[in-house]
A and B are shown apart, each in its own frame.
Chain A
């Protein structure tokens, strides 16, 4: 792997990794823009379906004029009562920051706003799965790009994506099972069995809420643990060109165990960065009366900031790993000698 003369030796401190991670992300604006575009393209077809449902419901009604002016709660309730499929998700919860809270609440409580069970509305499952697969595909290229710390070009980027995709899929089987196990066993253990036992005779609401907050913390910590193991495993797959997902997992666990405090601290500061982005969004969320173009631009600006924060998350983990175990020149495997195909060996043997 050729080294970049411009690349400084990464620092192995948490803040250093964070800063360098952000620097590498901001130095690759095309990546963030590309991720934003990809997000938009995945969401767009479904938004067209929703738009058609709305237009069909409105018909030539006078109500359409009111709906152009702002949110019409009466119409929205009527639409929600009749909507089917993806259009069912068009409710007042799409307005502003509440939508983010609603999504988080559903994820953590496994219950929708009207009592529906499951962490996601079934109508959205396909698109979410597609988007998730897209991230899995692109993750290899992203980590490779951040690890190299230099422009690599589209060809090399997607080549890295392809190289690592199926390794990440194999990793995803294990990680996916871990997440499933958390939701299937840990979640009910905490939020049903334990929560019920602890709140049964409580007469003070905020005690019950404090208990729930603590349980959320425990559950999110478990999710975060699985997440950070997956992240480091992916970093090791890319930086060390590992073929085995299981060995990468083992290596990730060893890496984390030996420097647990700093890994956790890095994870937390990145989460804080995401929370700051979210908090800023809460402050500037456009209202229903905001002009459409302005509302759209503001939302895309927030999403871009969120993508940056997510990419910086990944980049800082790469930087930290490199700073701890390696540098830009380091790989776990020997340098590949080319050519290395059976036909060449055959020719060599003939010569021998």
Chain B
């Protein structure tokens, strides 16, 4: 009931403000970090010249004696940044094969405090700091001492100016050919909390965190180039010198990204469904992907519909989807800018061959649209608690895909450099194995304790597993334990109460406990505050005659890993009876004894597969009618014929 009340209030607010411009709409967020910016792009030299003004309000309870800005693009200036060092830890050297001109950088040229008398230059005292790892060569956090403290509640204006070199794409920002995706491109102020500045260095395993505000950005690009950005386009002015200036405005957002290219196909549809916020969906599509336009729109519509239904209304009336240049050779072209979220703008990504049965396109569009709710509105700290966005969204995305596109997807692989796409019709997409990431989680399940700040995670694939997969799996586990309706209510309540609020993990678990009516501290301890793995197994089953036609049966279950989770044990007998035991899962083993006039037919621990984090589900059960020999014969024959093919292929060269 409460969820529906909040939903109705939010919807009414959205409906009431949808006719207003972004500047006029009443504030839904604190709007304490607002930017008015201009950017001029020199696509030939890949230079970006920016200037503007930041209006910042100290919403903490402490004085601000300094400011801290993110200067993200300096992470790609040289090999010494923390971002580069951490990438190399994961076995990937981003600068290998990169020419010097392919690197990125941002140089702040103006930093001035606006006063009644003019402005005070703050740049001379500014210096780079490394609050996370002390790396003196990292230049992604700029500390700016203030001449006078800013009191709690006070507001200041800062004039900014910077030059940036647009890199060949790193971390989803950059350029290739005449395609530019510009993100994290301006000096962005950190978040001041009561405990001090929350302004982390740019790490390989993390994304971003900032306060909400109003963004008014004017971008000058060559005439005829299509521009897409956060917000709605307010105007386009031809400057008469071969350039045009596009102005975009958006309120109640915490970031601003934009893209430009002369090649985009600019397509529009409208998401209109009774009871839902109308959303103008704009798609900037690579011409070679024209045939996939409808799929982009269908996926975005499904995401908007289901996320809005389950969790809460989408608070904006527009969404831009960018189809980035497809990267075929990352070593030379740079990384893709696809699969990323920014407020009211997402990047998707597809291939020329994208079979209807492939989940890739729908997955990325649903996932990035879903981020609008978690990353965009709830806006958790992606430096410290990335799971609260990525993991929650992964869980929700899998749910949408299962609901909106049932039984459609199969495994698709691209061979010979992408020339040939093959569908494995027998390998169906599954919500748990693929969607919730069980298959990848299994490969590296315990690298980091999830409650560790994300920026401290081991970088690379391991961070992805801990952030995305593990969260999705324990959320799906929680859903199985609480039931889908209750889980939906948990997330809807979490969304409604924490819109524009930057909640912490404790908030999420508190709401989960409150809504479910169950203290879930034990659950958070097991899955979130430890790196334990889970593996329950059916150890043995034995039957002994007990006289008088009855049988003494013993079923032994075992905990093989260090993770503890309460599980059911279900035993069926050959007389048709069954019994379900509850086991708290704490001891390393437990025996269940039965005396009855029947033999055990099957036994299973966690028979309903509530605990999706169980790494080895095959060992969870036992049957007196095992067909393992038959199954192994079947599949070893298939393997045999496959291997005969392999032998003949290589023997061709003898």
Contact = CB atoms under 8 A, between A and B. Distances in A.
A42 interface: yes
B623 A131 contact: no
B619 interface: yes
A151 B541 CA distance: 62
B627 interface: yes
B439 interface: yes
Given A47-B643, A203-B178, A61 B636 contact: no
Nearest to A287: B426
A142 to B, nearest CB: 12
A62 B602 contact: yes
Interface stretch (A52-60, A240-248, A254-262, A337-345): A52-60
A78 B621 contact: no
B644 A94 contact: no
Interface string B627-640: 11111111111111
Contacts of A39: 644, 647-648
Interface string B93-104: 000010000000
A53 to B, nearest CB: 8
A205 B628 contact: no
B22 to A, nearest CB: 32
Nearest to B432: A74
A120 interface: yes
Interface in B309-368: 325-326, 328-329, 331-333, 351-352
Interface in A214-257: 216, 223, 227
A166 B514 CA distance: 80
A135 B654 contact: yes
Contacts of A292: 633-634, 637
A47 B640 contact: yes
A301 B411 CA distance: 27
A6 interface: no
Contacts of B178: 203
Given A81-B442, A100-B649, A108-B416, A63 B618 contact: yes
B647 A127 contact: yes
Interface in B66-98: 97
A19 interface: no
Contacts of A64: 623, 626-628, 630-631
A283 interface: no
Nearest to B425: A287
Nearest to A63: B618
Interface string A101-116: 1111101110001000
A59 B626 contact: yes
B177 A202 contact: yes
A77 B640 CA distance: 19
A300 B636 contact: no
A326 interface: no
B628 A101 contact: no
Given A81-B443, A94-B642, A203-B179, A54 B636 contact: yes
A195 B331 CA distance: 10
Nearest to A192: B331
Nearest to A94: B642
B652 A310 contact: yes
A266 interface: no
Interface in B498-515: none
A51 B635 contact: yes
A90 interface: yes
Interface in A190-217: 192, 195-197, 199-206, 208-209, 212-213, 216
Contact of A55 (B628, B640, B654): B628
Contacts of A54: 628, 631-632, 635-636
Nearest to A223: B653
Interface in A36-92: 39-40, 42-44, 46-48, 50-52, 54-55, 57-65, 67-68, 70-71, 73-79, 81-82, 89-90, 92
A122 interface: no
Majority secondary structure of chain A interface residues (helix, strand, loop or mixed): helix
Interface residues of A, number: 98
A97 interface: yes
Q: Which of A95, A98, A208 has the most CB of B within 10 A?
A: A98
Contacts of B640: 40, 43-44, 47
Contact of B641 (A204, A205, A303): A303
Given A60-B628, A65-B623, A98 B422 contact: yes
Contacts of B621: 61-63
A303 B604 CA distance: 42
B117 interface: no
Contacts of A76: 427
Given A60-B626, A65-B623, A74-B432, A131 B325 contact: no
Contact of A95 (B424, B630, B651): B424
A288 interface: yes
Nearest to A52: B632
Contacts of A52: 632
Given A55-B632, A64-B626, A101-B422, A78 B442 contact: yes
B418 interface: yes
Interface string B414-428: 011111101011111
Nearest to B415: A105
B328 A77 contact: no
Contacts of A300: 641
A300 B642 CA distance: 10
A205 B351 contact: yes
Given A43-B643, A131-B651, A209-B417, A61 B422 contact: no
B617 interface: yes
Contacts of B654: 132-133, 135-136, 139, 172
A206 B325 contact: no
B643 A113 contact: no
B626 A104 contact: no
B645 interface: yes
A264 interface: no
Interface in A297-327: 299-300, 303, 306-307, 310
A213 B335 CA distance: 22
B97 A196 contact: yes
A299 B644 CA distance: 9
Given A208-B328, A212-B416, 15 more contacts: A43-B644, A48-B636, A50-B639, A54-B631, A61-B620, A62-B623, A65-B625, A70-B426, A73-B433, A96-B424, A102-B413, A128-B651, A201-B177, A206-B352, A300-B641
Interface of A: 39-40, 42-44, 46-48, 50-52, 54-55, 57-65, 67-68, 70-71, 73-79, 81-82, 89-90, 92-105, 107-109, 113, 120, 124, 127-128, 131-133, 135-136, 139, 172, 179, 192, 195-197, 199-206, 208-209, 212-213, 216, 223, 227, 287-289, 292, 295-296, 299-300, 303, 306-307, 310
